Amino acid sequence: MGLELKAVILGGGQGKRLRPLTESVPKPLITVAGKPIVVRQIEWLKSYGVEEFIIAIGYLREKLVDFLGNGSKLGVHVSYVFEDKPLGTGGGLRNARFTLDKVEHFYVVNGDIITDIDPERLVQNLKGDAVGVIALVPLHSSYGIVKVNKEFRILDFKEKPLLNKYWINAGLYLLRPEVFSYLPEIGDIEKTAFPILAEKGKLMAVKYGKPGLWKSVDTFKDIEEIETEFGRCEAK
């Protein structure tokens, strides 16, 4: 892969559950373990050969533009599409259609995801008439699990395990430009385009059974958990 493969970062949300942090900076600039989320995302995808990024942003967009500029300080090229009102993930992506209509396919990542999973697996699974591929990760329980036997004697405790029978949307996609004909002007891609594409059999998935690092940054607790995880990695 090279310059021909682009990535869209959807950063239009206001991050209300992270206030007061997001009262002065947009969510992609929230610092986690010493780096803004958007920097971690760019460095991750750059390590897989992506050097062109389009960031869809509305809320406090001038802060993000001032910080990233054209991306040269990170060794990539960054451009922007702006939304004057919240468009949702589908509308935000549709807003970027004129910069992506001539590429074969492109990555899309939600602007609150921190991960190190291999995105190239999506490229390998974009087959036939599929319009897109969604990355899936196991559902991570928010609670500890108690295992009992038939006599209801407690056998084991597992603290917030991965529930490997259940899969969730990882917020990372590989899409073909055909997707733009399915996107709403306002609305989320997960609630509009994806159900239609799934019904037509045009949506693939890749399961990351051992995802390594993956976390959606929605709350202060999420930030604490990621920083704890980074601390463990650095201690190894």
- Which residue type is seen at 231? G
Residue 152 gets which letter from DSSP? -
Contacts of 133 (CB under 8 A, 6+ apart): 122, 125, 126, 173, 174, 175, 203, 204, 205, 206
- What three-state secondary structure class fits 226? helix
SS (H, E, C) 103-150: CCCEEEEECCEEECCCCHHHHHCCCCCCCEEEEEEEEECCCCEEEECC
Q: What positions carry a catalytic annotation?
A: 160
**71 alpha-carbon distance from chain centroid:** 19
Phi and psi angles of residue 166, each rounded to the nearest 5 degrees, phi first: -125, 135
Instruction: Using alpha carbons, select from 110, 167, 109 the residue that is nearest to residue 138.
Output: 167
- In the sheet with 162-175, reading across from the earlier edge strand, the strands are 77-82, 52-57, 6-10, 106-110, 162-175, 132-140, 203-207
Residues 138, 230: Cα–Cα separation, whole Å: 20
